[in-house]
A and B are shown apart, each in its own frame.
Chain A
Amino acid sequence: MLFRFHNLIISALFLLVSQLSADDTQAREIFVEAILAEGSEQTALVESLSTTASTLVPDFLEAWKRGDIFLLEADGSAAPTPLLEVEPEQEGGTPTYFRVIDGEEMAAGSFDPAALEMARPSRKTRRVFTMTIDLLALSTPNVQERADAALKLGLKRDDDILPKLILLRETETEPSVIEALNEGIAVSMLSHGTKEGQMDAIQLLRDENSIAGLDALKNLRHDLNDGLATHPFSEEELAKLTASIASIESYISWTDFVGTCFRGLSLGAVLLIVALGLAITFGLMGVINMAHGEMIAVGAYSAYISQTVFYSLFSESTFALETYFLFAIPFSFLTAALCGFILERTVIQFLYKRPLESLLATWGVSLILQQGFRLIFGAANRQVRSPSWLLGNVEIFDITFGFNRIFVIGFAILIVFGTWFLMAKTPMGLSIRAVMQDPQMAAAMGIRINRVRMMTFAFGSGLAGLAGVFLSQIGSVGSNLGQSYIVDSFMVVVAGGVGNIVGTVISALGIGVTDQALQPLLGPVMGRICVLVAIILFLQWKPGGLFPSKSRSLD
């Protein structure tokens, strides 16, 4: 995806021959030389690229690393010609080739593509790439990239780079980049600087709450303890170092706390999305639907199908990728609802009076569906790609907020609101509640209870389908997808109070946050066990869950 995107940029760059600057021409010459060179000569040439002012260098290095540079053997003893391959936009099309030296496109038929040989950089050379790209990035106009590169280079604690960074600090104007430079320089100073430099660095890292610098500080302390440090520290200086470490550590624990809350919220949102459908089919209708997990899987497979359909309609284009997901959401809802509808008509409608037996029948259905998925889609899991707007993250105060996680929280709010609206504000919701509370009375009032039950079950299954769409974004789509969520879903509904959607919301969020909060302390497995045990104990205290349903019937 990303790569195709890159390809387009590269081809655009290579096509703009008319804007060739002197820098670029120089860079291109070095490229060709580097491609044809070997060993340390090659690494030296690549390193020298960082001194050119050409903007082509990073893209070129990317292409080389990826294996898009080919060699066209020349006749006789002449050196081969390096070419850049650009993949066709349509699948099955033929790639186009550009000469690296001048960016001219090679006419089709002027050479035999089969005779091309890939020019792979050696592993050693490729290690130089990263540093070259970083060094170049120090002068890109993109602020974020500049800052990242500055920090990364600083963390290398390299004698040669340190002066460059210090020099750059003089001229840099962007505050965020200066900050990163300071941090990077400070880390380098800790191991290479003078005593004053070290003390300044200790103070600076503390002031900047530098997580990246923590290791360097700790290493310094280790070295001091072991007597390996370049300059011995006085008691007071040592105390300063220790205080700096402590300060950063407390900052980390703060970010951990906020991060944990966010992660808990997002896990809670996942649980909520997964359990909401069950809150309706099980909570309201009393059907112990063990096939709920498979309804989720139906939704996830629907997302996969819509992706496939979009790809076949619009080819594997960015458009298809960015939009299929918007289509997948309603589509998955509908397919899962349809499956729910069929399930209700064929099996569940006979079991309303035998809820415990609905458990067995639906479990049978779940086995059939699981193997059915395998027979239809194959045993291997299917992958659903994420549109770019679900990738990436924002980082605030060293806490990462993934877009997909933010999305799931929003998505959960949306479907909870939608469900609430349907239940509380529409005539359909009114009849649903009437049928669930007293089917006979509802029937007497002229409500077609069969139809309402059918629709309700389909709706609950549809919600499960929505959960499936989202789960396809955080994991892969497989026949066992639903199984991993079924116990959790039931626990969420039961802990929240059967038949109460507000209870489901609160218990999902509560379980999510508790789980994430326990994880760092106990590890992922013990954390989950504790959550399960806590729910069991909670039910001792409140057997009806958070919001028990108020039924006066006896048994």
Chain B
Amino acid sequence: MIKFSETQRSLAGIIAVTFFLVVAMPALNLFGSEGSFLHISDYQLNLWGKYLCYAVVAVSLNLLWGYTGLLCLGQGLFFALGGYAFGMHLMLMIGEQGAYKSALPDFMVFLGYKELPAHWIPFKSLSFSLLAVLFVPGIVAGVFGFLAFRARIKGVYFAIITQALTYAACLLFFQNSFTFGGNNGFTDFKTVLGNEIFAPSTQRALFFISAVYLSLCLFLIWWLTKTKFGKIQRAIRDSENRVRFSGYSTTTYKLIIFVVAAIMAGIAGALYVPQVGIINPEEMRPSKSLEIVVWVAVGGRATILGPVIGAIFVNWLKSYSTYHYPEYWLIILGALFVLVVLFMPNGIVGLPEQLKGFYRKHRFRFQQKKEAAAEA
């Protein structure tokens, strides 16, 4: 029997996931005959597209929390910022097809704007918007991270001030006067890159892009964990002082990781918005960010595929139970988190290993008993 190394096994896992998402799912959607077990409906595909965006956020948080030990309770903020940046472009692309037949977004019309605010104008350009998807979350993360890491805020403190940050941003975006649509956020998009946004072909394409993007993120993380950078990252998690006293500027490392994770989540947000058709400040609520943490914990932190599995599983469970057990889904979800934390510290991914451990222990005890019995 050939023994595969840990890295080889995870690479195989990533390739399998990539194949499933990028090739198999679109194929089943396109060629599976309707009604058959193997067919994936447009609705299902769209739903999965949403899950994949969540999965990327989970992956980005895992990069921070799982591999670097930085528990960020504001990852939803970066996701939402990316979503808003792209959403602004989509809003402007509605053109005069909105309720008021005005070139301004609808919400501006009824709030009495006469012209587009200056900071909206560049978002008419697609390339600027795409850059903004990268730079807005990146810069926010950069500034905040610089301040926080320089002041050596970490652990619980870091978790709580990231929560405060996202809460402050959430309040800010809820304000109607903040020119981002207030509570309603952005909705009623018509086109994306010139295609009708809700057309099945567009949604299929968006799913495909999300799947490819997720796979790229997974490969990136896989590669990163192999590099010295990745090793230092984990070393920071385990013993930051030792790393610092070994001549590494941990502030710089953490800042880079924080910014990369924010950008990764921001792009996911940008892909999420055209698929669900809305972005509003709810996405910045502290509870949303907490949910992301839970996805990672459920799937298995500090593993490459864990966050993906966690995000998809929890969101699938949410879709399922809000349909079948609307009264109880919060209890189901809550109980799941408690049970995972208490009994599955390594998450779903760690479950086989955990079970194996139990089995061994059991067998050992059983043998001991048997031997004792034999001796007697």
The answer to the question of A443 belonging to the interface, with a C-beta cut-off of 8 Å to chain B, is no
Assuming the contacts A371-B328, A543-B157, A554-B241, asked whether A351 and B152 have C-beta atoms less than 8 A apart, the reply is no
Within the complex, which residue of A535, A537, A555 is in contact with B239, where a contact is CB–CB below 8 Å? A555
A347 near B338 with CB under 8 A, answer yes
- Contact stretch, chosen from A237-245, A463-471, A487-495: A487-495
Assuming the contacts A288-B156, A360-B337, A525-B174, asked whether A543 and B151 have C-beta atoms less than 8 A apart, the reply is yes
In the bound assembly, the distance between CA atoms of A357 and B153 in angstroms comes to 18
- Contact stretch, chosen from B19-27, B165-173, B219-227: B165-173
Shortest distance from the beta carbon of B154 to any chain A beta carbon, whole Å: 9
The dominant DSSP class at the A interface is: helix
A-B contact count (CB 8 A): 125
In the bound assembly, the distance between CA atoms of A144 and B115 in angstroms comes to 55
In the bound assembly, the distance between CA atoms of A195 and B341 in angstroms comes to 81
Within the complex, which residue of A367, A491, A535, A554 is in contact with B337, where a contact is CB–CB below 8 Å? A367
The answer to the question of B375 belonging to the interface, with a C-beta cut-off of 8 Å to chain A, is no
In the complex, chain A residues 362-384 whose Cβ is within 8 Å of any chain B Cβ: 363-372, 375
In the bound assembly, the distance between CA atoms of A554 and B171 in angstroms comes to 36
B333 near A364 with CB under 8 A, answer yes
Chain A proximity mask over B207-243: 1 for CB below 8 Å, otherwise 0: 0000000000000000000000000000000011100
- Contact stretch, chosen from A120-128, A269-277, A526-534: A526-534
Within the complex, which residue of B159, B167, B336 is in contact with A356, where a contact is CB–CB below 8 Å? B159
B165 near A536 with CB under 8 A, answer yes
Residues of A within 8 A of B167 (CB): 487, 532
Within the complex, which residue of B241, B330, B335 is in contact with A555, where a contact is CB–CB below 8 Å? B241
A371 near B165 with CB under 8 A, answer no
Chain A proximity mask over B333-367: 1 for CB below 8 Å, otherwise 0: 11111101110010000000000000000000000
Shortest distance from the beta carbon of A478 to any chain B beta carbon, whole Å: 15
In the bound assembly, the distance between CA atoms of A370 and B327 in angstroms comes to 12
The answer to the question of A71 belonging to the interface, with a C-beta cut-off of 8 Å to chain B, is no
Assuming the contacts A290-B290, A555-B241, asked whether A366 and B334 have C-beta atoms less than 8 A apart, the reply is yes
Within the complex, which residue of A490, A528, A539 is in contact with B153, where a contact is CB–CB below 8 Å? A539
In the bound assembly, the distance between CA atoms of A357 and B341 in angstroms comes to 7
The answer to the question of A19 belonging to the interface, with a C-beta cut-off of 8 Å to chain B, is no
B294 near A525 with CB under 8 A, answer no
A370 near B330 with CB under 8 A, answer yes
Assuming the contacts A288-B156, A535-B164, asked whether A528 and B171 have C-beta atoms less than 8 A apart, the reply is yes
Residues of A within 8 A of B256 (CB): none
In the complex, chain A residues 496-554 whose Cβ is within 8 Å of any chain B Cβ: 498, 525-526, 528-529, 532-533, 535-537, 539-541, 543, 554
A487 near B334 with CB under 8 A, answer no
A539 near B333 with CB under 8 A, answer no
A543 near B338 with CB under 8 A, answer no
The answer to the question of B155 belonging to the interface, with a C-beta cut-off of 8 Å to chain A, is yes
Shortest distance from the beta carbon of A341 to any chain B beta carbon, whole Å: 17
A356 near B156 with CB under 8 A, answer yes
Residues of B within 8 A of A330 (CB): none
Closest B residue by C-beta to A483: B287
The answer to the question of B161 belonging to the interface, with a C-beta cut-off of 8 Å to chain A, is yes
In the bound assembly, the distance between CA atoms of A375 and B327 in angstroms comes to 8
In the bound assembly, the distance between CA atoms of A31 and B157 in angstroms comes to 70
Shortest distance from the beta carbon of B52 to any chain A beta carbon, whole Å: 23
A487 near B337 with CB under 8 A, answer no
Closest A residue by C-beta to B327: A375
What number of B residues sit within 8 Å (CB to CB) of A?
45
In the complex, chain A residues 335-363 whose Cβ is within 8 Å of any chain B Cβ: 347, 350-351, 354-357, 359-361, 363
The answer to the question of B297 belonging to the interface, with a C-beta cut-off of 8 Å to chain A, is yes
Shortest distance from the beta carbon of A463 to any chain B beta carbon, whole Å: 19
In the bound assembly, the distance between CA atoms of A354 and B343 in angstroms comes to 13
In the bound assembly, the distance between CA atoms of A372 and B174 in angstroms comes to 29
The answer to the question of B147 belonging to the interface, with a C-beta cut-off of 8 Å to chain A, is yes
Residues of A within 8 A of B174 (CB): 525
Q: Which of B174, B241, B331, B336 is the most central at the interface, judged by chain A CB atoms within 10 Å of its CB?
A: B331
Shortest distance from the beta carbon of A324 to any chain B beta carbon, whole Å: 31
In the bound assembly, the distance between CA atoms of A433 and B337 in angstroms comes to 31
Assuming the contacts A350-B342, A528-B171, asked whether A371 and B331 have C-beta atoms less than 8 A apart, the reply is yes
A529 near B157 with CB under 8 A, answer no
B151 near A539 with CB under 8 A, answer yes
Residues of A within 8 A of B290 (CB): 290, 359-360, 363
Residues of B within 8 A of A365 (CB): 334, 338
In the bound assembly, the distance between CA atoms of A366 and B286 in angstroms comes to 14
Within the complex, which residue of A347, A366, A494, A555 is in contact with B157, where a contact is CB–CB below 8 Å? A494
Shortest distance from the beta carbon of A417 to any chain B beta carbon, whole Å: 27
The answer to the question of B160 belonging to the interface, with a C-beta cut-off of 8 Å to chain A, is yes
Closest A residue by C-beta to B296: A360
Closest A residue by C-beta to B339: A364
Shortest distance from the beta carbon of B325 to any chain A beta carbon, whole Å: 11
The answer to the question of B163 belonging to the interface, with a C-beta cut-off of 8 Å to chain A, is yes
Shortest distance from the beta carbon of A279 to any chain B beta carbon, whole Å: 13
The answer to the question of B44 belonging to the interface, with a C-beta cut-off of 8 Å to chain A, is no
The answer to the question of B175 belonging to the interface, with a C-beta cut-off of 8 Å to chain A, is yes
A371 near B330 with CB under 8 A, answer yes
In the bound assembly, the distance between CA atoms of A539 and B71 in angstroms comes to 17
B164 near A487 with CB under 8 A, answer yes
Shortest distance from the beta carbon of B95 to any chain A beta carbon, whole Å: 32
The answer to the question of B293 belonging to the interface, with a C-beta cut-off of 8 Å to chain A, is yes
A543 near B153 with CB under 8 A, answer yes
In the bound assembly, the distance between CA atoms of A31 and B345 in angstroms comes to 78
B341 near A364 with CB under 8 A, answer yes
A490 near B338 with CB under 8 A, answer no
Assuming the contacts A357-B297, A367-B337, asked whether A372 and B331 have C-beta atoms less than 8 A apart, the reply is yes
Within the complex, which residue of B160, B294, B328 is in contact with A363, where a contact is CB–CB below 8 Å? B294
Closest A residue by C-beta to B238: A555
Shortest distance from the beta carbon of B295 to any chain A beta carbon, whole Å: 11
B341 near A351 with CB under 8 A, answer yes
In the bound assembly, the distance between CA atoms of A519 and B342 in angstroms comes to 43
In the bound assembly, the distance between CA atoms of A526 and B312 in angstroms comes to 36
Closest A residue by C-beta to B73: A359
B155 near A367 with CB under 8 A, answer no
B342 near A491 with CB under 8 A, answer no
Assuming the contacts A532-B167, A543-B151, asked whether A498 and B338 have C-beta atoms less than 8 A apart, the reply is no
A364 near B338 with CB under 8 A, answer yes
Closest A residue by C-beta to B286: A487
In the complex, chain B residues 278-321 whose Cβ is within 8 Å of any chain A Cβ: 286-287, 290, 293-294, 297
Within the complex, which residue of B152, B171, B340 is in contact with A529, where a contact is CB–CB below 8 Å? B171
Residues of B within 8 A of A369 (CB): 334
Shortest distance from the beta carbon of B245 to any chain A beta carbon, whole Å: 10
Chain B proximity mask over A192-223: 1 for CB below 8 Å, otherwise 0: 00000000000000000000000000000000
Residues of B within 8 A of A490 (CB): 160, 163-164
Closest A residue by C-beta to B287: A483
In the bound assembly, the distance between CA atoms of A535 and B152 in angstroms comes to 16
Shortest distance from the beta carbon of A86 to any chain B beta carbon, whole Å: 44
Chain B residues packing against A (C-beta within 8 Å): 71, 147-148, 150-153, 155-157, 159-161, 163-165, 167-168, 171-172, 174-175, 239-241, 286-287, 290, 293-294, 297, 327-328, 330-331, 333-338, 340-342, 345
Given contacts A359-B159, A529-B171, A532-B164, 19 further A-B contacts (CB under 8 A): A357-B341, A360-B290, A360-B297, A360-B340, A363-B294, A364-B333, A364-B337, A375-B327, A491-B164, A529-B172, A535-B161, A536-B165, A539-B157, A540-B147, A540-B148, A541-B151, A543-B157, A555-B239, A555-B240
**21 residue pairs A–B, Cβ–Cβ below 8 Å:** A288-B159, A347-B338, A355-B155, A357-B345, A359-B71, A360-B293, A360-B337, A360-B340, A361-B342, A364-B335, A364-B338, A367-B331, A368-B335, A371-B330, A494-B157, A494-B160, A532-B167, A532-B171, A539-B151, A541-B151, A543-B157
Q: Which 10 A-B pairs have the closest CB atoms?
A: A364-B337, A367-B334, A368-B334, A371-B330, A532-B168, A361-B341, A364-B338, A364-B334, A540-B151, A543-B151
